[in-house]
Every structure is written in C-alpha cells, then in structure tokens.
Amino acid sequence: MQLTVFTDYAALSDQAAREMIRTLEQKPDAVICMASGSSPKGCCERFVQLATSSGIDLSQFFFIGLDEWVGLTPGMPGSCSHDFFTRLFDPLSIPASQYHLFDPVAADMQAECEKMDTIIREKGGIDLMIVGIGLNGHIGFNEPGTPFTLLSHVIDLDATTIAVGQEKYFTTPVELKQGITLGLGHLMHTRKVLLLANGTGKASVIKEAAEGPVTSALPASIMQQHPDGYIWLDKEAAAMLSE
Ligand code: GLP
C-alpha cells in the first residue's frame, strides 16, 4: 500500500479521475467499481470533464456500483444509485448495458449477491476500484467485524453508519437497516484500489486504517495488505498520521 497526501481535495480528485482515464486508455473494456458518497464526488466530476474533453472511448468499459442501502426505492435521492446516475451515467450517456448496480428491493437478496459475483467473475474481475471510508472504518458496507474473504453480501448496518447515512445523504426520513455490498474478497482480488478520504472528520479513522493493526475490526486496514492499493488523502484527512 502507498499513501499520498495531496494539497487539497481538488488535486486528489483530479488524480483519481486521471487514474480512471489511464485505466481506460490501457484497457478500454476495463471494469471499474466505485463507491458513492462524498469522497469520490470530485473525482466523478473531474472524470466527466476529462472524458468529455479527451473524447476517450467510453463504449466498452463496465461499471459496478460498490454498495446500496437495502429497501430504498431504486434511484431515490440519497441512494448510491442516484449518485451514479447523476454523476456519471446521465452526464456521459452511459447505457444500462454498461453498468450493474445492486437492486435494493430484490425479492431474493441472496440471488442478488450471487448475480453480482457472477457478473464480476464473467467480466474477468475488477480492474480499478475507487472507495471511500466510513467513520467506523467500513469500506462499502463491510462493517467492523466483516471477514476479509467475503464476496457480495447483505449486512445489518452499524448504528454509526445508520446515523451518518440518515443525516448526510437523505433530506427526508428513511429507514436504514441493512446494506448490500461487494465484499473485501472482491477488493483484494481487484487489480488496483484507491481509497480516497478528505476532511478533518476522517483523520482519526485514517490513522487507524493506515498505521494501526490489520484487523477485521477496522475493515479499511485491509488496504495495508493490497499489493496495488493506494490511500489518497487531502491534508486534513492526513493530519493525524505520524509519518
Ligand atoms: C457510506 C458508503 C460507502 C462510502 C462511505 C463513506 O456509508 N456505504 O460506500 O464510501 O460510507 O462515505 P463518504 O465518502 O460520504 O464519507
């Protein structure tokens, strides 16, 4: 794992977007997986600018949504899919044939997990994953205690995740109980992983993830073991690091 501190969130987002472009230049049919939420927002905006101005071929890549809140109306504001539609699919006119997202209201959630795992396997694995980190150290909805080996699964959400989620992403009250997510087994099989974090609020959990013991109690600590894993921070998120 390598850790880089950028001058600010704009610089971090620019580099992450350029990494997406580089991936697609080298492999136009790359599989890219992304988290929703605030951390990758700037990266998505910059990617739309760069992809549009460069005219890069976007007709072959495949997008995987990292996670979703179970039970929400698909595409509702605040949902993960809403982020993907408004940030990427709509501005870049990405057709439905080029992405797969978890269905948060699937009748059979186990089958929904198996479907995701099958798609990833049939696509030849994930080339680039861009994730954020929760205040409790989660990646996607891999909450503290989740085994590092899991693939897609449904999980009961932590109280912290529910409280932060309700306040941060939704303007109206919603019932958040469970999440459906790719597992850390997927992350470890992904060829390259970027974890993005910005802001003072992430400083403490970043210190734990980057400098603490590798433990399922702090899922993001798995980044330390990824052979091509990168933690990209702004100065605020890096403020508590010792090195
Ligand atoms: C959310 C999502 C994650 C996201 C993380 C951090 O609950 N499940 O996919 O990466 O928490 O979100 P943010 O980037 O908004 O801080």
Query: What confidence category does residue 163 fall into, taking pLDDT thresholds of 50, 70 and 90?
Result: very high
pLDDT over 90 for what percent of the chain?
100
Nearest CA to ligand 1 atom 12: 37
Half-sphere exposure of 71 (CA within 13 A, CB side): 10
To which H or E segment does residue 25 belong?
A: helix 9-26
15-32 per-position pLDDT tens digit: 999 999 999 999 999 999
Domain 2-234 -> CATH class: alpha beta
Flag whether the pTM goes above 0.95: yes
- 164 residue type, one letter: V
Nearest CA to ligand 1 atom 11: 134
The catalytic position among 112, 127, 143, 236 is 143
Q: Identify whether 142 is a catalytic site residue.
A: no
Q: Identify whether 143 is a catalytic site residue.
A: yes
Nearest C-alpha neighbor of 45 from the set 26, 70, 20: 20
DSSP state of 158: P
Q: Identify whether 136 is a catalytic site residue.
A: yes
The catalytic position among 14, 19, 67, 112 is 67
**34 Cβ closer than 6 Å to some ligand 1 atom:** no
- Which residues have C-beta within 8 Å of that of residue 225, sequence separation ≥ 6? 1, 188, 214
What pLDDT score does 91 carry? Answer: 98
Phi, psi of 216 (to 5 degrees): -65, -15
What pLDDT score does 145 carry? Answer: 98
Provide the CA 12 distance to its chain's centre, in angstroms.
15
- 42 residue type, one letter: G
Question: Per the structure block, which two tokens stand in for 35?
Answer: 């988290």
Residue 44 CA to ligand 1 center (angstroms) comes to 15
Nearest CA to ligand 1 atom 9: 140
**221 Cβ closer than 6 Å to some ligand 1 atom:** no
**65 Cβ closer than 6 Å to some ligand 1 atom:** no
Residue 124 CA to ligand 1 center (angstroms) comes to 26
For 75-112, give one letter per residue: b (16+ CB within 10 A) or e. Answer: eeebbbbbbbbebbbebeebeeeebbbbbbebeebeeb
Nearest CA to ligand 1 atom 2: 140
CA distance 46 to 20: 10
97-126 per-position pLDDT tens digit: 999 999 999 999 999 999 999 999 999 999
CA distance 176 to 203: 26
Q: Identify whether 226 is a catalytic site residue.
A: no
